[in-house]
Structure 1
């Protein structure tokens, strides 16, 4: 009987689950997705739904408990939290029952260390940003191998050599390539699940500052007020890739999902990195700027800045960011996981 694997997914944003779904479909062995999955599309997946471990369901929680007396190898180990207790117990029960050949951890220091204590080998996902604190390094040290869901060219300069040597740079996972489309003048703005979304006043000011172009906004927008005629708010849509394909210019944050989308579709890109723990989006955006793959501005620009940003973005060569897309990334990642399991 072929032993399956598990894939733990974090509940911040949709990218973790999207990666797991893409690679699981390319594996030749069963894959079980473990995570807090309420609100996500898990159709067709084998799942273990885990209790929420956030304090009082706080959606803005950054993953660190701030408690005194916490072991230095952990980020989040609150006391007297029934959700944490039930979550870890459910993972342990699944591991005993399933006897997995491997657990991919995307991402949690605590789950990676729990798996090691359960005698389950791990492939630990290493996100961008400065993750040289002791908890991250201990999780990396205990892993059989590390998986970076981005190209090596976007890695940070401060990553220790031994961490780099242990890392499989898988490239962007789950973003299908799109044949180039003759773009019009549309600007497409994408807000994902992991951030705060857009602000209507800011979007309206940007559209008024560049009135000769239609602005199409995908994802959540909050606030009220007048909407200029060239600003179109679409909310959540099922065909993000198709809408971006028709854009002359893409605007979005520095998360893996939107950067992968820009690369897969070779789009001129205005990258607005959001504040994230460990500088995840900031470091990736800085690397894009160094490569000449995007125009980068920290946070949402003022209305006066938009005409210049649009002009600068129109002048960049989209083949630079397009060169970061690997059409075989998912298949290569799945094959590497198979090899890792065989070696173990």
Structure 2
């Protein structure tokens, strides 16, 4: 008699695209085992098993924190009397009851990790960069069966307590792998993430004018500048960002895990523009990349010396970037999760 393996749930946060991209990469490497749980997954994850959850956002500028006057210290986002949250919690707990998952990966949400633990499901909590030593994060981490960070250990934040770091599996390379491609000479590709970007288009017009011997390609949503130089192209959002990164001779982008992972796998000169995020996530990741010799950090793109930055980026050693990447990251992580699920957990 064949015993059917219990599923692995994967909760996907819906702010930005990085969470969904790595969830899909892991799920694709574990055929038939992973069920993605999140908002807006339909049409975005191919034929991967998924459940679309009711939306829990209070506004379009969702950043994982609510505006509640009071809130338990163990929670970040718990607005009161929100119908979407009630329906969301009901959908998740109903699936847990019916599917009896062996474990759930939480990427990311303190509240969902606590909910899974209360529902008696072991959790693997994705731990991102930044100063996450607040009471809610620490309680979430210590309540998890294991922790997973989508980057190399060398990029971790020095403020993380030793016991948390010791329980973390570092997993670089959790992004779709683009086919290797020769870089186009003098092609600067700018990546504007969907998690939030506040730079005006004039910044890229000025940058293109400052480095006129390069073609500048901007990917992402940005309004057209009042005057655009001939060497600047605004392509909007595209579906093949990793491939575009692989073809660039210099990449400019934020310090989100998706962009960083794609740059490291392509071994491309990288100018990192850390964007404002909760817990200084991108500031910490950018500083770690600079320490590792894998990126040039530009904290003020409005007043940047673009010719000097482009020249400095071209001096980055690809080997330093390669040391932070794992071409088999998704497959290794999928195998690790399956092993955790199949061998069970101590009570």
TM-score by length of 2: 0.94
Q: Greater CA deviation, 113-122 or 231-240?
A: 231-240
Q: Residues 20-99 of structure 1 correspond to what in structure 2 (within 5 A)?
A: 20-27=23-30, 29-37=32-40, 41-55=44-58, 58-99=59-100
Shift of 1:299: 4.3
Q: Distance in 1 between matches of 2:63 and 2:261?
A: 23
SS in 2 for 1:315: coil
- 1:214 pairs with 2:212: no
Shift of 1:199: 2.5
Q: Greater CA deviation, 279-288 or 333-342?
A: 333-342
Structural RMSD (CA): 1.6
- The superposition leaves residues 154-183 of structure 1 with CA deviations (integer Å, 9 ceiling, x where unpaired) of 001011011011111011302416435154
Aligned to 1:16: 19
**In structure 2, do the counterparts of structure 1 residues 197 and 237 end up closer, same or farther at CA, with 3 Å as the change threshold?**
farther
Q: Greater CA deviation, 127-136 or 77-86?
A: 77-86
- The superposition leaves residues 69-117 of structure 1 with CA deviations (integer Å, 9 ceiling, x where unpaired) of 3111111111111111111111111110111011100000000000011
Aligned to 1:293: 294
Q: Greater CA deviation, 173-182 or 307-316?
A: 173-182
Paired residues of 2:273 and 2:299 also in contact (CA < 8 A)? yes
Unaligned residue ranges in structure 2 (runs of 5+): none
Paired residues of 1:191 and 1:197 also in contact (CA < 8 A)? no
SS in 2 for 1:7: strand
- Number of residue equivalences: 341
Q: Distance in 1 between matches of 2:273 and 2:109?
A: 26
Unaligned residue ranges in structure 1 (runs of 5+): none
Paired residues of 1:105 and 1:111 also in contact (CA < 8 A)? yes
SS in 1 for 2:20: helix
Aligned to 1:336: 336
Paired residues of 1:198 and 1:222 also in contact (CA < 8 A)? no
- The superposition leaves residues 94-142 of structure 1 with CA deviations (integer Å, 9 ceiling, x where unpaired) of 1101110111000000000000110011100001111010111111111
Q: Distance in 1 between matches of 2:99 and 2:222?
A: 42
Shift of 1:242: 2.6
Shift of 1:52: 1.3
* Structure 1 stretches of at least 4 aligned residues deviating more than 6 Å after TM superposition: none
Aligned to 2:123: 122
